Amino acid sequence: MTPIGIFDSGYGGLTILRQIRQLMPQYDYLYLGDNARAPYGTRSFEVVYEFTLQAVKRLFQEGCPLVILACNTASAKALRSIQQNDLPGIDPSRRVLGVVRPTAEIVGEMTKTKHIGIFATPGTVRSNTYELEIAKLHPKLKVTGVACPMWVPLVENNEAHLPGADYFVKKKAEELLAADPLIDTVILGCTHYPILLEKIKEFMPQGINIIPQGKYVADSLQNYLHRHPDMQQRLSQNGTLHLLTTEQPSQFNENASIFLNNPVEAQRIILQ
């Protein structure tokens, strides 16, 4: 089996996996959530890089020729180093792709005011990766990022739909609009945040476009595979999904089943 590897610090990447599988159900997928060490968003560059590299190596060992970092924090803080410094030594024929670039590509068409907002983890916001990627592609856009350190813990602890989450969502929605009232398009720049989508919509004025990235990452992957038939042919196609987590599987299974609308059975692994 040579599945597509999908990695996230926890449950968030399942929002990306779901969209990718919807578009390309024929491939085999291996999901890895580092739930025991989530969240990554408040960790240093070095630690996010180290954890992400461990995960990528593990997914390679499991046979994945291609790994998607379905995590903005890992894409922002580790992707480039892994692509440029590690991959040539590990196996130059394998590929690691992220989620920031496919998202940056599509924002140009979405905004009328040319003012974009980003909700993301502190790590992603501090890295300025979205600003840099968007500036390369759409130099006229004004980008404002707001870090939401409490949002991932709300999702990881299954608190996202409870009234307690309202306070944290409202606070950040107000902060973003106070920073730039002309924003008409907001990117959810963390793969956990689509779980909070309904709440985010509740606290943002109507007419503001809130964009989860899953669909665009899936479209971009499909496009990538069309352009790289050598990689496409290496991927096995039995339509299977296997899940790995660094936490105890019972809790993961329960939460992941809700995300994926199907009962799942994850296996626990230790990353090092």
Instruction: Kindly list the strands in the beta sheet with 142-147, ordered across the sheet, starting from the edge strand earlier in the chain.
Output: 142-147, 115-120, 185-188, 209-211
**Residue whose CB is less far from ligand DGL, 10 or 102:** 10
Strand-pair partners of 117: 144, 186
Q: Does 72 bind ligand DGL (CB under 6 A)?
A: yes
Q: Does 124 bind ligand DGL (CB under 6 A)?
A: yes
Catalytic residue among 190, 217, 218, 244: 190
Residues in 187-226 at the binding interface with ligand DGL, rule: CB under 6 A: 190-192
**Residue whose CB is less far from ligand DGL, 152 or 235:** 152
| Phi-psi group of 11: left, alpha or beta (phi > 0 → left; psi -120 to 50 → alpha; rest → beta) | alpha
Catalytic residue among 4, 30, 56, 71: 71
Q: Binding string, 150-179, against ligand DGL, x = CB under 6 A?
A: --x---------------------------
- Find the binder of ligand DGL among 7, 40, 168, 216 (CB under 6 A): 40
Query: Which tokens sit at 144?
Result: 């404002």
Q: How far is the CB of 140 from ligand DGL (least distance, A)?
A: 26
- Find the binder of ligand DGL among 3, 12, 65, 117 (CB under 6 A): 12
Report DSSP letters for 142-180, one per residue: EEEEEE-TTHHHHHHTT-TTSTHHHHHHHHHHHHHHHH-
- Count of residues that interact with ligand DGL, criterion CB under 6 A: 17
Nearest to 155 by CA among 119, 118, 192, 203: 192
> What is the Cα–Cα distance from 173 to 53, expressed in whole angstroms?
33
Q: How far is the CB of 214 from ligand DGL (least distance, A)?
A: 11
Decide if 190 is catalytic: yes
Q: Does 145 bind ligand DGL (CB under 6 A)?
A: no
Among 24-32, 105-113, 185-193, 204-212, the segment contacting ligand DGL (CB under 6 A): 185-193
Q: Does 19 bind ligand DGL (CB under 6 A)?
A: no
Three-state secondary-structure class, residue 221? helix
> What is the Cα–Cα distance from 145 to 78, expressed in whole angstroms?
19
Q: Does 245 bind ligand DGL (CB under 6 A)?
A: no
Q: Does 41 bind ligand DGL (CB under 6 A)?
A: yes
Decide if 148 is catalytic: no
Q: Does 107 bind ligand DGL (CB under 6 A)?
A: no
Residue 39: asked if its preceding bond is cis (omega within 30°), the reply is yes
- Any long-range contacts for 21-27 (C-beta under 8 Å, 24+ apart)? 21/241, 22/218, 23/218, 23/219, 23/221, 23/222, 24/218, 24/221, 24/222, 24/225, 25/239, 26/237, 26/239, 27/3, 27/235, 27/236, 27/237, 27/239
- Find the binder of ligand DGL among 30, 68, 71, 118 (CB under 6 A): 71
Please give the positions annotated as active site. 71, 190
Q: Please give the residue ranges that form the binding site for ligand DGL (CB under 6 A).
A: 8-10, 12, 38-41, 71-73, 121, 124, 152, 190-192
